[in-house]
Amino acid sequence: MSDPILNDKSEVDKDLAPIRAQIDAVDAQLLHLLNERAKLAQAVGHVKQKHAQPVFRPEREAFVLQKIAAQNPGPLPSHSLQTLWREVMSICRAMEEAVKVAYLGPAGTYTEQAMYKQFGHAIDAIDCTTVDDIFRTVEADGAAFGVVPIENSIEGAVNRTMDLLLASPLKICGEVSLAIRHSMLHKTGDMSGVTTIVAHPQALAQCYNWLKQHYPHIEQKPVSSNAQGAQMAAADPSVAAIASDIAGTKYALQTVAASIQDDANNRTRFIVLAKQLCGISPNDKTSIILATPNKAGAVYALLEPFARKGVSMLRFESRPARQKGWEYFFYIDFAGHIDEQHVREALAEIEANAAFYKCLGSYPVTS
Ligand SMILES: C=C(O[C@@H]1C=C(C(=O)O)C=C[C@H]1O)C(=O)O
């Protein structure tokens, strides 16, 4: 007697065979088209080389991603296609040259995730130990780009990044927003012998209530990155780390508890640093730093051209000024690009009246 399961299987195979043949044919077309695209990127690379132009053009990539969403006939969701296209562009870009990107390492940090989200994986990633190191590396041409955290939805601004932006000649040419989900990680998963929980101070703060509820008596120790904490936990079972599941997998740790951050909508925004300025994209924002004379109504008066010229402010942060004479530096993000007429006019007035003015750059908005 014939085996019904085997029979079924051959029935399934018979039904699948023609569809799989079509998939193979589509793959062959995709393969051809992807290589055609790569050859065009190579041709673009030659032109750029001739004119000494940068390989990575964030504004052009933003246009490509916008077109993908606008022309998408479905059923694939646009955001998935955009993720795919970022990788396609990354691979095509690498045909011109693999761009060097400095990030806050070691491997397994959220900054690494943000970097790959922005640049795709076909890059030359350089891990740095501090935010200062990233600025220095890009300033010294050790990398064309740097990715650093700038603000978290719970903890607010990353002060070191803010302070370095004030002094550095580097420009902002992109931003990345990432959902931050922390896990409690341990070598075996058995927390009974754990005496120390390590993480970046921001991660410890983002899990404050959860830690108080679950491990109130275990000492918390800040380290320079969550991935460094994960490395420590991998080497010592008396240490547990708070980091991403990606870091957990990278360092062969068990997840004791997932999504332990106090706010489910915990997000961090990262910026991309470079020496190059970014052209106009479909949707831009601009970052500036200002200081006003210390008198009543000065901030209001200084920013009035924004209202008059129809420029929308997106973010307003202040940092104490260390120099004498000014009380605060104001870090302002607003909608628009410095090459747009109304923005240029508003900024010219603001610059003329400010005690201090610095433009950090215009760059594509990303969600
Ligand atoms: C091909 C280019 O170079 C890079 C790759 C891009 C792509 O693959 O679409 C787009 C912008 C650049 O970062 C280009 O500038 O057009």
Closest CA relative to residue 176, chosen from 112, 232, 105: 112
Sole residue written with tokens 């991403």: 244
pLDDT-derived band at 295 (thresholds 50, 70, 90) equals confident
Q: Is residue 212 part of a domain?
A: yes
Quote the ligand 1 centre to 291 CA distance (angstroms).
37
With 90 as the cut, is the pLDDT of residue 92 above it? yes
With 90 as the cut, is the pLDDT of residue 286 above it? yes
Ligand 1 neighbour 59 (Cβ under 6 A): no
Q: Is residue 207 part of a domain?
A: yes
In this predicted structure, what is the pLDDT of residue 51? 96
- Whichever domain contains 49, its CATH number is 1.20.59.10
Q: Is residue 210 part of a domain?
A: yes
55: left (phi over 0), alpha (psi -120 to 50) or beta: alpha
* The Cα angle at residue 58 between residues 53 and 63, in degrees rounded to 5: 115
Q: Locate the ligand 1 atom nearest the alpha carbon of residue 56 and give its number.
A: 13
Query: Complex ipTM, two decimals?
Result: 0.97
Query: Do 194 and 253 share a structural domain?
Result: yes
pLDDT-derived band at 322 (thresholds 50, 70, 90) equals confident
- Whichever domain contains 237, its CATH number is 3.40.190.10
In this predicted structure, what is the pLDDT of residue 225? 86
Quote the ligand 1 centre to 104 CA distance (angstroms).
25
* Amino acid at the residue 307: A
In this predicted structure, what is the pLDDT of residue 3? 57
Mean pLDDT score, 229-250: 96
Q: Express as a percent the part of the chain with pLDDT over 70.
A: 97
In this predicted structure, what is the pLDDT of residue 192? 96
- Whichever domain contains 359, its CATH number is 3.30.70.260
Domain residues for the domain of 86 are: 24-94
Sole residue written with tokens 């058995």: 190
List b or e across 345-356, with b for residues whose CB sees 16 or more CB atoms inside 10 angstroms. ebbeebbebbbb
Closest CA relative to residue 102, chosen from 141, 147, 60, 57: 147
Could you tell me how far CA 165 lies from the centroid of its own chain?
Answer: 17
pLDDT tens profile 93-111: 998 889 999 999 888 999 9
Query: Do 142 and 79 share a structural domain?
Result: no
Q: Whose CA is nearest to atom 2 of ligand 1?
A: 41
Query: Do 116 and 175 share a structural domain?
Result: yes
Query: Do 159 and 109 share a structural domain?
Result: yes
In this predicted structure, what is the pLDDT of residue 8? 66
Q: Is residue 116 part of a domain?
A: yes
Quote the ligand 1 centre to 55 CA distance (angstroms).
7
In this predicted structure, what is the pLDDT of residue 216? 97
In this predicted structure, what is the pLDDT of residue 294? 78
d(CA 297, CA 75): 54
Q: Is residue 19 part of a domain?
A: no
pLDDT-derived band at 4 (thresholds 50, 70, 90) equals low
With 80 as the cut, is the pLDDT of residue 158 above it? yes
List b or e across 268-285, with b for residues whose CB sees 16 or more CB atoms inside 10 angstroms. bbbbbbbebbbbbbeebb
pLDDT tens profile 115-125: 999 999 999 99
Query: Do 342 and 289 share a structural domain?
Result: yes
With 80 as the cut, is the pLDDT of residue 362 above it? yes
With 60 as the cut, is the pLDDT of residue 113 above it? yes
Considering the chain, what is the average pLDDT of its residues?
94
Q: Is residue 10 part of a domain?
A: no
Cβ atoms of residues 261 and 183 within 8 Å: no
With 90 as the cut, is the pLDDT of residue 181 above it? yes
pLDDT-derived band at 224 (thresholds 50, 70, 90) equals confident
Ligand 1 neighbour 65 (Cβ under 6 A): no
Q: Whose CA is nearest to atom 5 of ligand 1?
A: 93
With 90 as the cut, is the pLDDT of residue 326 above it? no
With 80 as the cut, is the pLDDT of residue 7 above it? no
pLDDT-derived band at 2 (thresholds 50, 70, 90) equals low
Q: Is residue 324 part of a domain?
A: yes
Cα end-to-end distance, the chain, whole Å = 61
Last residue of a domain, one of 226, 257, 288: 257
Quote the ligand 1 centre to 89 CA distance (angstroms).
6
d(CA 231, CA 173): 32
User: Which of 56, 85, 89 should be mutated for ligand 1, with most atoms under 8 A from CB?
Assistant: 89
In this predicted structure, what is the pLDDT of residue 138? 98
The CB-side HSE value for 185 (13 A sphere, CA atoms) comes to 30
In this predicted structure, what is the pLDDT of residue 160? 94
Quote the ligand 1 centre to 186 CA distance (angstroms).
42
* The Cα angle at residue 140 between residues 137 and 146, in degrees rounded to 5: 35
Q: Is residue 306 part of a domain?
A: yes
Ligand 1 neighbour 99 (Cβ under 6 A): no
Sole residue written with tokens 């380290």: 223
pLDDT tens profile 168-178: 999 999 999 99
In this predicted structure, what is the pLDDT of residue 296? 84
Last residue of a domain, one of 36, 63, 94: 94
Mean pLDDT score, 209-225: 96
pLDDT-derived band at 188 (thresholds 50, 70, 90) equals very high
pLDDT-derived band at 36 (thresholds 50, 70, 90) equals very high
In this predicted structure, what is the pLDDT of residue 34? 97
Cβ atoms of residues 38 and 95 within 8 Å: yes
Query: Do 136 and 73 share a structural domain?
Result: no
Query: Do 210 and 161 share a structural domain?
Result: no
Last residue of a domain, one of 78, 94, 110: 94
Provide the 8-state DSSP code for 192.
Answer: G
Domain count, the chain: 4
Could you tell me how far CA 119 lies from the centroid of its own chain?
Answer: 9
Ligand 1 neighbour 160 (Cβ under 6 A): no
Sole residue written with tokens 């341990």: 186
With 90 as the cut, is the pLDDT of residue 293 above it? no
Query: Do 90 and 119 share a structural domain?
Result: no
